[in-house]
Amino acid sequence: MKSDTATRENPFFQPWRGPFGLPPFERIAAEHFVPAYDRAIAEHNAEIAAIAEDASPATFDNTIGALERAGEAMNRVGGVFWNLIGTDSTPQLQQIERELAPKLAAHYSAIGLNEALFRRVETVWRERDRLPLTSEQRRVLELAYDGFVRSGVLLDGAQKTRWAEIAERLASLGAQFAQNVLADEAEWLMELDEADLGGLPQSLRDAAARTAADRGRPGKWAITLARSSVEPFLAQSARRDLREKAFNAWIGRGETGGATDNRAIIAEIIRLRDESARMLGFPTYAHYKLDDQMAKTPERVRALIDSVWTPAKTAAAKERDDLQRIATEDGGNFAIAAHDWRYYTEKARKALHDLDEADIRPYFVLDSVIGAAFDVARRLFGVTFHERKDLALYHREARAFDVRDEAGAHVALFIGDYFARTTKRGGAWMSAFRSQRAMDGEDVRPIVVNVLNFARGAEGRPTLIGLDDARTLFHEFGHALHGMLSKVTYPSISGTGVVRDFVEFPSQLYEHWLLQPEVLSSFARHADTGAPMPDDLVRRIRASEKFNIGFGTVEFCASALVDLDLHLLNPGPDLDVLAFERAELQRIGMPREIAMRHRTPHFSHIFSGSSYAAGYYSYLWSAVLDTDGFAAFEEAGDIFDPAVAKRLRDHVYSAGGREAPEDAYRHFRGRDPDAKALLRARGFA
């Protein structure tokens, strides 16, 4: 930390007067975060004490409303810090993260365990039927009360102490897990010579050359473990030995046997989660975690996964036989292995649908796909996106857009951060520097960010992305719209502040527009010629939508089942997570030619934090909603039908968590979801 002068100049201690309330990134340095958090924690503690010790009778406003107002300084610092941890995670920031994670966990545990504070919340809860509460206020009150109970406030003194210890330790373990995965991804690089490029299309060669140059190896080509680098390589490279090398590194993240090995961390996380759940009277952590979700119970989750597991395996077996036949005809004297699947899938796609990823990529220019995502939002919800190149952001590669409604009024600031770099965590996600709220006459508009990891094109050339990358962009933009269009009063239910197995509904639903002919015709133009994608190619892409669906469903469901069953354990001290993973995959009959989408040692969804723990199934749960939900537009005969779009905006994208997700879906769709829609959509009905 710097001197008193540095403290006085700390940007977090000063008003932010820049456009849109954007953080002054150009003035924020790593050494500002610890003192900023120290002051924010002190302010938050004072706010909490004032609520808990208020001598006046507890009311909604002086208790629940006050809790909603409290912690503004924490949100301000955290909005910047945690976004930078994901997007520009330097060694200095990682060290600060390791220091702050247990401190912040202790802070929030103390609030959740504050009995005096809870008694005031409980008083309002008991009086709720006699109070003139809006439906939104009742929902916020319900969530606040349940949140305290689930945070251990009803435990006795010794149990509260242990609960807080567990929370601190889990925070430290989660931070270390994520940093280990990032380190493994950043360290690995497969350098290629020209002789190693067989099968790679020019766009991938250009991206690999750019990667090598960026890593200080000009004149070479290089593949990294960023999904947009390694997956296209696995699908296109004619070198089976290099495919195997890249694949093994990709699925081996987090189990290198060195300082970044995550196996012991996972075992401890599982034990501590189980202990905390049983302290609250739940038989396992999975029961605890699912209790307040749409699914409610592990049994319902397993029933959902089981409903697609068997037909998915059947479909995958047929796909495997097709790939094996192609490999044999191609002169391959070997049984198809996991590192072969993507390569021969591309050959099968060509044979069955006359489709080649190399033929599709030139029509998926990154800037055009971004523009398509924006245009769908305009046609559905009336919002437009205006790039602001004058704003100072946290990284030179990030882009900012002023989002406006039909009247030209500001709705949100959207930031897109699209390219992979060694300081950025892998994957893709949506986050916010500031969430929407409308308390006390304010109308605070959100600052939302999408983070992706695309491989940049060659210097002077547009960046081309694959079909799966384009889906990911639309998916994350669906999350972003959920945050940007939010129109609620209270910050705790703003935007994506909904239960985990509902939050993927708006994002997965948005994916449906990507391959609609009306959308493809507007953006899919050849990078070199500008010619629109031929109608015949559009038809073939649409016809192939269920192609390889068995593989995709199997790799996902395997991860979801391992996640669920790990969290159904009451583990002893000798838990071997990889032995458990192997036994679980054997039990469910996992095809040997397919790997889990996320193997346990790098399963960041469930181990870098608890958000998706025992909840990875939620993508499948939301798939029921998104397939049935998009059918509402199809039934209306217009994929941009204004009436359906208005219901979708009013009850989903703008509604945050102001009502139970079951009610939100019914208000949008007019009925409960059709569970068979998922099976029909995947061809399993």
Which residues are the active-site residues? Answer: 476
Instruction: Enter the tokens of residue 64.
Output: 């629940």
* Other residues' Cβ atoms within 10 Å of the Cβ of residue 572: 8
* Other residues' Cβ atoms within 10 Å of the Cβ of residue 205: 16
DSSP helix/strand/coil, 18: coil
Cβ atoms 104, 171 nearer than 8 A: yes
Query: What contacts 500, CB < 8 A, 6 or more positions away?
Result: 293, 611, 612, 615, 618
Cβ atoms 63, 124 nearer than 8 A: yes
The DSSP secondary-structure symbol of 464 reads B
DSSP 254-306: T-SSSTT--HHHHHHHHHHHHHHHHHTT-SSHHHHHHTTSSS-SHHHHHHHHH
DSSP helix/strand/coil, 476: helix
DSSP helix/strand/coil, 384: strand
Distances, alpha carbon 629 to alpha carbons 472, 670, 671, in Å: 19, 10, 10
Q: Strands, E, within 429-494: which ranges? A: 429-434, 447-454
Maximum distance among all Cα pairs of the chain, rounded to whole angstroms: 83
Q: Strands, E, within 175-249: which ranges? A: 190-192, 221-223
Give the burial string for 500-536 (b: 16+ CB within 10 Å, else e). Answer: bbbbbbbbbbbbbbbbbeebbebbbbebeeeebbeee
Q: What whole-number distance in Å separates Cα of residue 596 and Cα of residue 560?
A: 9
Q: What whole-number distance in Å separates Cα of residue 284 and Cα of residue 552?
A: 29
DSSP bridge partners of 414: 401, 448
Nearest partner of 319 among 548, 540, 541, 595, judged by Cα = 548
Nearest partner of 88 among 1, 20, 25, 7, judged by Cα = 25
Q: What whole-number distance in Å separates Cα of residue 523 and Cα of residue 374?
A: 11
Query: What contacts 232, CB < 8 A, 6 or more positions away?
Result: 204, 357, 455, 466
Instruction: Give the 3-state secondary structure percentages of the chain, helix then strand then coil, rounded to 5.
Output: 60, 5, 35
Compute the CA torsion angle 508, 509, 510, 513 (nearest 10 deg). 120
Q: What whole-number distance in Å separates Cα of residue 85 and Cα of residue 357?
A: 33
Torsion sign, CA atoms 567, 571, 573, 578: negative
CA geometry: angle 636, 639, 645, nearest 5 deg? 80
How would you class 256 by CB atoms within 10 Å of its CB: exposed for 0-12, middle for 13-18, buried for 19 or more? middle
Instruction: Enter the tokens of residue 35.
Output: 């003192």
Task: Return the H-helix or E-strand segment holding 244.
Answer: helix 240-251
Torsion sign, CA atoms 30, 97, 224, 201: negative
Distances, alpha carbon 178 to alpha carbons 65, 424, 603, 608, in Å: 34, 11, 9, 5
